[in-house]
């Protein structure tokens, strides 16, 4: 359907009217370009607010990291745990993805082209354990943290940053008002109120000096027991159960009384900048993430996944660093891990993409980050006309790079070995716009925080020729920056 956009200027603000989104509907958004400022400085003013979200491209790369977003003061929060849905003040049982799809349909919005793509919608996290609403899997033996399976805010107020062009905009949709005149007024008032709050932004204060003692960070695996877990996966492979499974160890840290989740984010951001960094502050749960991995992007029905499989540590010695990168590129083991996940994702995407549209434009390319080199592949496709971002999510969640192949059997084995609910780890963080676009990361290199306890995990793909000690050491390499953020 072709949409016609007209504009009306009200003072210094532009109201964009879009028609043709739904029959008998006229949808409006209000957009104000603002002077560019450091997004980290702006979010610091709001970091303690319930529902404050910072989707942060802390590392710009050739293929990702162009945009950052701040979403504030959600007009509705949707959360779920074991099928118990909380939607604003309502509580009921249901399928959280069904509820999400229904709620998204209530707030149609036309996207303004050539601007940052998240212009209003839902943002938050999907925990790994949401998979039990998609597949029949055993319940975890231990769920001590009781993280939500899903926690999303509905945002009418978003600041979008184009980091390449050093430009920024406020988007104000006026939702949840449905009457056009009332929406216009709410959008104008909300935008003007935010402009007042960010008119002057002070310099960032120093990061508070909290730290944890390393001896107080406990894993649910010992060095020996993790190696035994690797051997169990290899036995499953030899018996023909699976080709690959991703096994993680979980670290738990009690946080000091003077702890600040936002300061932890700032420390991690400085130590390990990543293109899909994120800070989320919901009342009982905070997420601090430095993920390098895109799970799914949906822009104008074009789908992209960028799975990571294959890792080597970085070295401060330039020659040694180059040798490690070359070693990774030449590794048959790491290449085979990556190719298996590419095949899995091609199958997942083929369920919801147009026939013959799924492609692999990059296979096992090298990408380098602050502490590690990775092999990254790219799979693309075009979403079927009648399907939505939520349908795409159902077909692919959780990402194959952090489960294994075949996917369902791998997840059964993961649960039997790890025993503890993964929570946000290996789920996804990001947004789904009211206009239908979506961008989600894989939740790795991430702290999940609740009740003054921080949980973080690190894992790796186990295949037939995995070496148990090397796999254990790889988990420590991946967790290195998170340890440093806590103890330094």
DSSP code of residue 145: S
From 56, 60, 59, select the one nearest 41 (Cα to Cα): 56
CA distance linking residue 224 with residue 267, whole number of Å: 31
From 43, 107, 72, select the one nearest 282 (Cα to Cα): 72
Interior/surface letters 293-322, b for 16+ CB within 10 angstroms, e for the rest: bbbbbbeebebbbbbbbbbbbbeeeeeebe
> Is 412 part of the annotated catalytic residue set?
no
Please, what is the angle between helix 468-487 and helix 223-238, to 10°?
140
What is the rounded end-to-end Cα distance, in angstroms, of the chain? 55
CA distance linking residue 30 with residue 16, whole number of Å: 6
For residue 253, give both structure tokens: 């840290």
CA distance linking residue 340 with residue 156, whole number of Å: 40
Biggest CA–CA distance in the chain, Å, is 70
CA distance linking residue 421 with residue 349, whole number of Å: 26
CA distance linking residue 154 with residue 390, whole number of Å: 15
Q: How many residues does the chain have?
A: 488
**Residues 40, 244, 293, 337: which is the catalytic one?**
293
**Residues 112, 267, 309, 478: which is the catalytic one?**
309
CA distance linking residue 448 with residue 339, whole number of Å: 30
> Is 309 part of the annotated catalytic residue set?
yes
CA distance linking residue 418 with residue 412, whole number of Å: 10
459, 219 Cβ separation under 8 angstroms: no
Q: Which residues are catalytic?
A: 293, 309
């Amino acid at each position: 359907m072709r949409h016609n956009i007209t504009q009306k200027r009200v003072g210094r603000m532009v109201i964009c009217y879009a028609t043709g989104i739904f029959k008998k509907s006229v949808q409006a958004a209000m957009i104000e370009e603002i002077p560019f400022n450091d997004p980290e400085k702006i979010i610091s003013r709001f970091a303690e607010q319930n529902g404050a979200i910072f989707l942060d491209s802390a590392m710009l790369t050739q293929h990702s990291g162009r945009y950052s977003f701040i979403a504030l003061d959600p007009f509705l929060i949707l959360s779920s745990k074991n099928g118990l849905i909380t939607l604003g003040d309502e509580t009921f049982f249901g399928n959280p993805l069904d509820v999400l799809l229904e709620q998204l349909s209530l707030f149609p919005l036309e996207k303004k082209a050539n601007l940052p793509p998240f212009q209003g919608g839902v943002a938050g996290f999907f925990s790994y354990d949401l998979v039990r609403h998609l597949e029949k899997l055993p319940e975890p033996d231990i769920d001590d943290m009781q993280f939500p399976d899903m926690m999303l805010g509905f945002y009418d107020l978003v600041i979008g940053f184009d980091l390449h062009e050093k430009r920024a905009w406020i988007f104000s949709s006026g939702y949840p008002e449905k009457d056009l005149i009332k929406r216009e007024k709410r959008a104008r008032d909300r935008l003007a109120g935010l402009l007042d709050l960010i008119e002057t932004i002070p310099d960032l204060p120093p990061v508070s000096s909290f730290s944890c003692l390393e001896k107080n960070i406990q894993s649910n695996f010992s060095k020996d027991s993790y190696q035994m877990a690797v051997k169990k996966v290899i036995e499953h492979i030899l018996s023909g159960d699976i080709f690959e499974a991703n096994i993680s160890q979980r670290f738990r840290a009690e946080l000091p009384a003077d702890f600040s989740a936002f300061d932890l984010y700032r420390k991690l951001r400085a130590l390990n900048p990543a293109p899909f960094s994120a800070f989320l502050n919901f009342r009982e749960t905070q997420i601090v993430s430095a993920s390098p991995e895109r799970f799914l992007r949906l822009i104008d029905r074009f789908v992209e996944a960028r799975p990571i499989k294959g890792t080597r540590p970085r070295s401060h010695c330039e020659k040694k660093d180059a040798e490690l990168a070359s070693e990774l590129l030449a590794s048959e083991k790491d290449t085979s891990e990556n190719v298996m996940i590419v095949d899995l994702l091609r199958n997942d995407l083929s369920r919801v993409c147009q026939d013959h549209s799924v492609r692999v434009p990059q296979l096992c390319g090298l990408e380098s980050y602050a502490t590690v080199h990775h092999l990254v592949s790219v799979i693309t496709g075009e979403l079927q006309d009648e399907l939505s971002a939520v349908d795409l999510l159902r077909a692919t969640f959780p990402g194959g790079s952090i489960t294994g192949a075949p996917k369902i059997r791998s997840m059964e084995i993961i649960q039997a070995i790890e025993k503890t609910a993964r929570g946000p780890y290996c789920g996804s963080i990001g947004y789904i716009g009211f206009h239908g676009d979506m961008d989600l990361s894989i939740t790795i290199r991430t702290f999940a925080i609740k009740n003054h306890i921080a949980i973080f995990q690190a894992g790796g793909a186990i295949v037939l020729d995995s070496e148990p000690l090397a796999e254990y050491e790889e988990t420590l390499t991946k967790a290195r920056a998170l340890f440093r953020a806590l103890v330094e």
